Structure 1
Amino acid sequence: MSTTDAAPAAAEGAQPAAKLTMTTMTAMVVGSMVGAGVFSLPSRFAQETGVAGALVAWAIAGTGILMLAFVFQTLAVRKPALDSGVYAYAKAGFGEYLGFFAAVGYWASACVGNVTYWVLIMSTIGAIWPALGEGNTLLATALSTVGLWAFFLLIRRGVKEAAAINRVVTVAKVVPILVFVVLALFYLKPHVFAENFAGADYAGSLFHQVRGTMLVTVFTFLGVEGASVYSRHAKRREDVGRATVLGFLSVFAVFASVTIVSYGLLPMAQISELRQPSMAGVLESAVGTWGKVFVSVGLIVSVLGAYLAWTLMAAEVLFVAAKDDDMPRFLRRATKADVPVPALLMTTLLSQLVLIVTLFSDDAFNFALELTSALSLIPFLLAAAYAVRIAWAPGSEAVRGGIRVRELAIAALATLYTAFLIYSAGLKYVLVSFIIYAPATVLFVMARREQGRRLFSGRELVILAVAVAGAVMGVIALSLGWISI
């Protein structure tokens, strides 16, 4: 089906943007968060910390992400004219170029995250088909490529169909995770749990342990902003914030439970060495082979559903940015079924490129997971900082009844939390992120030229110089082996 610009399409009788209920948007939030991350939690946490550190880490992550959820809820109500939340909030608060960076970071984060899904699927099947290895062999990459483009064709058929499929898949994938928690509690060994409480000798100080888990928790909670990103499709604007908070609360307890109960089945050192998905290995130790198969099937359903939701959100960010003249005009084209095909195509192409890069990675899943988290941090930081600005601004509509103080405190906590996450990510992933940010500026230049505008202001040139310098340092560090993938 040929594409047309969104505005002309509407004039020619195209279908209006699909309107989503709060139930559907909540399912999109849950579907986005419950993906590959939860199935990797036992091993990833055991590599860094014991029960005590895990409890502290989840307390910090839960509070921080809840503050972010409240931020998106507040901004959806205070700024109803801003669609595709994460990108739009950064632009409104800090200018077009940083808004563009937020859009690119969020989009690239989704694309890299999609690669983790295919790597994990292939690693799961690789347990019975050795040719797939850990998900990054040539055969695994070829099969993942087929999956990438099959989903491209599915989503191209229409947003309504994709959203409906996601709602069904969300229910189907939560059930195996809940069953895992119940079975793990039933087979829990108190003495093993007690031995894992303080952490192993390799874990280091409690602060070091907690810091090491931060990017993992970010990855599992990516998607909490899903309803905000897709806000233009909401039937009622207030449903955006409600779906965000409800979706978060629905999965937080599950994520923390999966982590904690795993410490009661195997020694921490053994959990840390399990291949991904480590949840399958943990359950296998308790109930036998059928537990591993049960979790593996649940993982495949879960990951495919999350892939669908993330691809939708990634394309939506590019589409809305193009409508706002912050991306080239070709990205604003949509079919009569309201599918932004050029944006969807670019999303699939970047995922394909990253998938090829995993062939050269020593640990494809963990590298993609941590890069996904790192790329999302700048968009989240800018959105939280924007919430601080509007709550602090004189004459803010948030002043009534003391609400301003509450909203300012929430936004400040969310900002501090995301800043701590950037610190926890370390220089390695910041530099690799710049390797993506800097070249993407070509799209910004294309958009400015189409509008006949000056390419960069003085302030934007400074930001560009920092991004290019970071990208150059990242390339040098990779080429000399200072950082590895």
Structure 2
Amino acid sequence: LVIGSMIGAGIFNLVRNTAESAGPLATIIAWLVTGVGMVFLVLSFRNLAEKRPDLDAGIYSYAEAGFGKYVGFNSAWGYWISAWIGNIAYAVTAFSALGYFFPQLFADGQNWASVIGMSILLWGVHCLILRGVRTASVVNLLITIAKIVPLIIFLVAIIAAFKLDIFSKDLWGLAGSNLSLDVVLRQIKDMMIVTVWVFIGIEGAVVFSGRAKQRSDVVKATFIGFAAVLALYVLMTVLAFGVATQPELAGLKDPAMAL
């Protein structure tokens, strides 16, 4: 659940977004900083789960307990809106990928054929979920597998194609500029906008904590999911610099994983 929540449409363009923001070394630093920050967030979830086991309605229950019903309501409402907007983003990316193979039909994933296809897909998944929690769990598992399999294939491909001379050509992403602290910090800052964004969904296990057999399962699921996704993100974005130069990666079209 945690892995499926975190891996969204953005990961399929993560290589390009990374290259647009930073060079290889700045990317590694940004992932380290973000990783440490997310570990503290996971520890916060663990602390809340242990101290307030009665709050089992998700992260918005924490907002309600801390700041009142009005803030809790807005937190839940905002979370719901972000969820369905995320589905739209994922659908656009999916049909953009189909457009790579069927350009005359789906183009860039933003034509009427894509809209109709997206609607059928989203409503189909919605109808399956309405059949019950068990069906929803199966659907979530299948979707998660559908996300992870191409990512693993992509990772294996870039490992096989990795060349050290390409990776080390411009480690700081200077493109001819002089190395300075300001340049490096700007790259790290720009990259962290990307790295923090892709961890949205890390609260997935907390949202359904009320259905967990043990509260400790929520913490374990969050830690394991976070570690797995972090490793996948880091390997994909860093190793890609050994397959193509930073300008080439930054110039990739949607979906960037078509690299």
With structure 1 as the length reference, what TM-score do the two structures score? 0.50
Give the deviation of 1:171 after TM superposition.
Answer: 4.2
- Structure 1 residues 152 and 239 mapped into 2: Cα distance closer, same or farther (>3 Å)? same
**CA offsets 1:156-180 (integer angstroms, 9 cap, x no match):** 1111111133235434543432332
Amino acid at match of 1:69: V
- Give, in whole Å, the separation in 2 of the partners of 1:202 and 1:40: 26
- Give, in whole Å, the separation in 1 of the partners of 2:183 and 2:64: 39
> Which residue of 151, 155, 176 corresponds with 2:125?
151
- Structure 1 residues 169 and 144 mapped into 2: Cα distance closer, same or farther (>3 Å)? closer
Give the deviation of 1:275 after TM superposition.
Answer: 1.3
Give the match for residue 140 of structure 1: 114
Give the match for residue 7 of structure 2: 34
Give the deviation of 1:47 after TM superposition.
Answer: 0.9
- Structure 1 residues 72 and 215 mapped into 2: Cα distance closer, same or farther (>3 Å)? same
**CA offsets 1:235-265 (integer angstroms, 9 cap, x no match):** 1122111111111112211111000010001
Amino acid at match of 1:133: A
Give the match for residue 160 of structure 2: 186
| Structure possessing the higher radius of gyration over alpha carbons | 1
Give the deviation of 1:89 after TM superposition.
Answer: 0.7
User: Contact between 1:72 and 1:85, CA under 8 Å: does it hold in 2?
Assistant: no
1:176 aligns with 2:153: no
User: Contact between 2:14 and 2:256, CA under 8 Å: does it hold in 1?
Assistant: yes
- Structure 1 residues 129 and 217 mapped into 2: Cα distance closer, same or farther (>3 Å)? same
- Give, in whole Å, the separation in 2 of the partners of 1:59 and 1:153: 40
- Give, in whole Å, the separation in 2 of the partners of 1:90 and 1:139: 41
1:73 aligns with 2:51: no
- Give, in whole Å, the separation in 2 of the partners of 1:155 and 1:196: 48
Amino acid at match of 1:217: T
- Give, in whole Å, the separation in 2 of the partners of 1:202 and 1:216: 24
> Which residue of 256, 262, 269 corresponds with 2:234?
256
With structure 2 as the length reference, what TM-score do the two structures score? 0.90
User: Contact between 2:34 and 2:192, CA under 8 Å: does it hold in 1?
Assistant: yes
- Give, in whole Å, the separation in 2 of the partners of 1:150 and 1:51: 41
Give the deviation of 1:196 after TM superposition.
Answer: 3.6
- Structure 1 residues 212 and 163 mapped into 2: Cα distance closer, same or farther (>3 Å)? same
| Count of residue pairs the alignment pairs up | 254
- Structure 1 residues 117 and 171 mapped into 2: Cα distance closer, same or farther (>3 Å)? closer
Give the match for residue 17 of structure 2: 44
1:124 aligns with 2:102: no
Report percent identity of matched pairs: 37
The unaligned stretches of length 5 or more in structure 2 are none
**CA offsets 1:43-94 (integer angstroms, 9 cap, x no match):** 0111111101111111111111121111112211211111222101111112
Give the match for residue 209 of structure 2: 231
Give the match for residue 417 of structure 1: none
**CA offsets 1:291-345 (integer angstroms, 9 cap, x no match):** xxxxxxxxxxxxxxxxxxxxxxxxxxxxxxxxxxxxxxxxxxxxxxxxxxxxxxx
- Structure 1 residues 55 and 270 mapped into 2: Cα distance closer, same or farther (>3 Å)? same
Amino acid at match of 1:111: W
- Give, in whole Å, the separation in 2 of the partners of 1:185 and 1:70: 32
- Give, in whole Å, the separation in 1 of the partners of 2:147 and 2:213: 26
> Which residue of 199, 204, 207 corresponds with 2:173?
199
- Give, in whole Å, the separation in 2 of the partners of 1:200 and 1:178: 30
- Give, in whole Å, the separation in 2 of the partners of 1:155 and 1:262: 36
User: Contact between 1:73 and 1:245, CA under 8 Å: does it hold in 2?
Assistant: no
Choose 51-60 or 136-145, whichever is displaced more.
Answer: 136-145
- Give, in whole Å, the separation in 1 of the partners of 2:147 and 2:122: 20
Relative contact order (C-alpha < 8 Å, sep 6+): which is higher? 2
Amino acid at match of 1:91: E
- After superposition, the CA RMSD in angstroms is 2.0
User: Contact between 2:8 and 2:86, CA under 8 Å: does it hold in 1?
Assistant: no
- Structure 1 residues 168 and 140 mapped into 2: Cα distance closer, same or farther (>3 Å)? closer
Give the deviation of 1:101 after TM superposition.
Answer: 2.4
User: Contact between 1:29 and 1:225, CA under 8 Å: does it hold in 2?
Assistant: yes
